[in-house]
Amino acid sequence: MEQRIRKAVFPVAGLGVRLLPATKTQPKEMLPIVDRPAVQYVVEEAIASGIRNLLFVTGRGKRAIEDYFDFAVELEYELKNRGKEHLLGEIRGIVNSAQIFYVRQKSPRGLGDAVFQARAFVGEEPFAVLLPDDIIMSDSPCLFEMLRLFAERPGVYVALIEVPHSEVSQWGIVSGREIAPSLYLIEDLVEKPEPYEAPSNLAVVGRYLLPPSIFDALAETSPGKGGEIQLTDAIRKLIGKEPIYGYRFVGEYFGVGSKLGYLKANVAFALKREDLAFEFRAFLRDLVERGII
């Protein structure tokens, strides 16, 4: 396990049911947050954390993601003629600074099954998993902080957030004890428990550092909650074999797979943008002054 993490896996095969009808003909990961597709935020987090080998686990209807992380020769030519090539510069930057791979999950059998598709790409090294539905706004990227902890104390890592007790059934929930500021040693994990069976209100957010042994664990994991192969159940199988840590991150979380989370992310990221914040803030203030909010 004393290895550097060089690879990241992005499961993007999900149907996006909670964002219908927008996701009927468009991957949810391509819906814009301000002016960048949602998936770009987590890809940038991985790259900012020093990871250069990226695997997307895609599915039917997700080709727009492949086209996005590619050069658009004709469009770039046109933009160059108009002196606007900077408009696509940042995507070119991503494509140039990362090696991007794709594999398809053939049937929607759950997050665990999606991660299992990464086995050949990952090989025998620890790796990161980032869920594009979970966007974290923070000074230092959440994944970067997890990698820093991993370098000091190798093991399995998940990111954690405190959620209201009434919402535990929407999350993977852990029990554990805090062994250093913001760092937990996890004793158990349960996928989407009912509030009465939840061991705590500490929820797993979609950032994981996993050992290659997760693939054997996944192979032995039967369908769990919702009839799907759950990553949480496979991580649970590693208890006692590997130390499992939780990192309670510092930052603002947005669950952009839901309409409300998606809207909140748009407002929060727009307010961070130098080119938009001033007028956007004035617009919001006006809504408050007129009693609309």
- The residue ranges that bind ligand G1P (CB under 6 A) are 111, 131, 133-134, 171-172, 191, 203-206, 230-232
Q: Which is nearer to ligand G1P, 51 or 111 (CB)?
A: 111
| Least separation in angstroms between CB 205 and ligand G1P | 5
Q: Which is nearer to ligand G1P, 91 or 133 (CB)?
A: 133
Q: Based on CB atoms, which residue is closest to ligand G1P, 57 or 131?
A: 131
Greatest CA separation for the chain: 63
Q: How far apart are CA 269 and CA 34, in angstroms?
A: 7
In the complex with ligand G1P, the residue whose CB is nearer, 91 or 235, is 235
Three-state SS for the chain is: CCCCCCEEEEECCCCCHHHCCCCCCCCHHHCEECCEEHHHHHHHHHHHCCCCEEEEEECCCCHHHHHHCCCCHHHHHHHHHCCCHHHHHHHHHHHHHCEEEEEECCCCCCHHHHHHCCHHHHCCCCEEEECCCEEEECCCCHHHHHHHHHHHCCCEEEEEEECCHHHHHHCEEEEEEEEECCEEEEEEEEECCCHHHCCCCEEEEEEEEECCCHHHHHHCCCCCHHHCCCHHHHHHHCECCECEEEEECCCEEEECCCHHHHHHHHHHHHHCCCCCHHHHHHHHHHHHHCCCC
Residue 272: count of CB within 10 angstroms of its CB: 11
- Shortest distance, position 173 Cβ to ligand G1P, whole Å: 8
Considering the complex, what minimum distance in angstroms separates the CB of residue 208 from ligand G1P?
9
Alpha-carbon span 65 to 16, nearest angstrom: 14
Residue of minimal CB distance from ligand G1P? 172
Q: Which is nearer to ligand G1P, 128 or 131 (CB)?
A: 131
Nearer to ligand G1P, 206 or 211 (CB): 206
Cβ proximity to ligand G1P: between 129 and 270 the closer is 129
Output 76 or 175, the one with its CB closest to ligand G1P: 175
